[in-house]
Structure 1
């Protein structure tokens, strides 16, 4: 059985978890936070998520894991059959990550501390988001799913990217980023209402107190003695 390593407050962890649940792949969860030496045994750079396969092989990086489970468990596909259409799905995922998730992630420390990010940082984040918006406007179909008639890995990826965009960029920048892409908010609501997404959200909420305790311990450890 696959073991999924990480923690439920991580959106990247939840991308993989959603894909595993959608594809009905049996797995077990191993709760482990970053800054844990044991994580290095399954993730070379100490990031989550990571998985241990049925064969005992460890893999990290969410996009790599998603590709692996698609190839290893093809019965319920999350990528189209056409090579071109698969590339489009991956293109949407990459743009969502580089131009939506990663810039928004820079604001996470300020969200957790309840403070406002510096104006210079906010401007930098705005500039990157402003590059991603027209790209996603061009690529996303919402007919009814992001890449067309079938739900794909791009839908799962984008949904959990949006968790960070909504929680960080939209609040810190006072900007309804998703509204800049027609159809995105309605599609995101549909994704949120799925049974899998609701289970993952419940697990995220349940894990939050333990996660915040871990974050506070990290902050205290980093303070000068």
Structure 2
């Protein structure tokens, strides 16, 4: 059985969890936070999520984990059969990560510390997000899924990227980023209504108080140095 290590407040942890649930794979969860010694033993960069396979193999990085799960458990596929179509799905995932999730993540420390985001950083984040908006507007079909008629890994990936964009990018910039991509808000809402997404969200909400407590303590400790 697969063991999923990490914490439910993490969007990438939830992405992998959603994939496991979608594929109806048995797994267990092990609560670990970034920086813990146990996590560092399993994850070279000390990041979550990490999975331990039934054979004892430990893997980190969500995209690597998702590809491993897809290749090892091909039933209920999350990629198209055609190689070109698979590449397009991965292209969407990479663009969402680089131009939506990562720039929005730069704003997290300011949100948790309650400090104002410097104008220079706001401008940089807006510039990168604008590239993401342009690219995803060209690529996403929402017919009804991101890549067309079939739900793919891109749907799950982008949905959990958007949790960071909405929570930090949009809120800190006072900008409804998702509304800039035609069809995205409607698709995002449809994704949120699935039984799996609601199960994952319930677990996320339950973990948030403890996660915020740990992050706040870490920020105070860093500021005290």
> Aligning the two structures, in what range does the TM-score lie when normalised by the shorter sequence?
over 0.9
SS at match of 1:175: coil
User: Which residues of 2 match residues 44-63 of structure 1 at below 5 A?
Assistant: 44-63=44-63
Correspondence 1:40 to 2:40 = yes
Structure 1 equivalent of residue 138 of structure 2: 138
Aligned to 2:12: 12
Deviation of 1:40 after TM superposition, in Å, equals 1.2
Residues 18-97 of structure 1 correspond to what in structure 2 (within 5 A)? 18-97=18-97
Q: Distance in 2 between matches of 1:224 and 1:174?
A: 30
How far has the Cα of 1:168 moved from its partner? 0.6
Pair 1:202 & 2:206 matched: no
Could you say what the CA RMSD is over the residues aligned between the two structures, in angstroms?
Answer: 1.0
Distance 2:158 2:199 in 1: 18
Matches of residues 206-217 of structure 1 in structure 2 within 5 Å? 206-217=206-217
Does the Cα contact within 8 Å between 2:42 and 2:59 map onto a contact in 1? yes
Counterparts of 2:126 and 2:224 in 1: how far apart (Å)? Answer: 33
Instruction: For residue 145 of structure 1, report the CA deviation from its aligned partner.
Output: 0.1
CA contact (8 A) 2:113 2:219 kept: no
Paired positions, count: 225
Residue 224 of structure 1 deviates from its aligned partner by: 3.4
Question: Over residues 133-181 of structure 1, what are the superposed CA-to-partner deviations in whole Å (9 max), with x where a residue is unaligned?
Answer: 1110111000000001010000000001000111111111111111111
Residue 113 of structure 1: CA displacement? 2.2
What residue is the counterpart of 1:148 in the other structure? 148
Alpha-carbon distance change, 102 to 23 in structure 1, aligned in 2, over 3 angstroms: same
1:148 is paired with a residue of what secondary structure? coil
Q: 1:222: Cα distance to partner?
A: 2.5
Per the alignment, residue 125 of structure 2 pairs with: 125
Supply the distance in 2 between the matched residues of 1:37 and 1:150 (Cα, whole angstroms): 41
**Structure 1 runs not aligned, ≥5 long:** none
Structure 1 residue 223, shift from structure 2 partner: 4.0
TM-score, structure 2 normalization = 0.98
Gapped regions of structure 2 (runs ≥ 5) = none
Q: In the alignment, is residue 222 of structure 1 matched against residue 225 of structure 2?
A: no
How far the C-alpha of 1:116 sits from its partner, in A, is 2.3
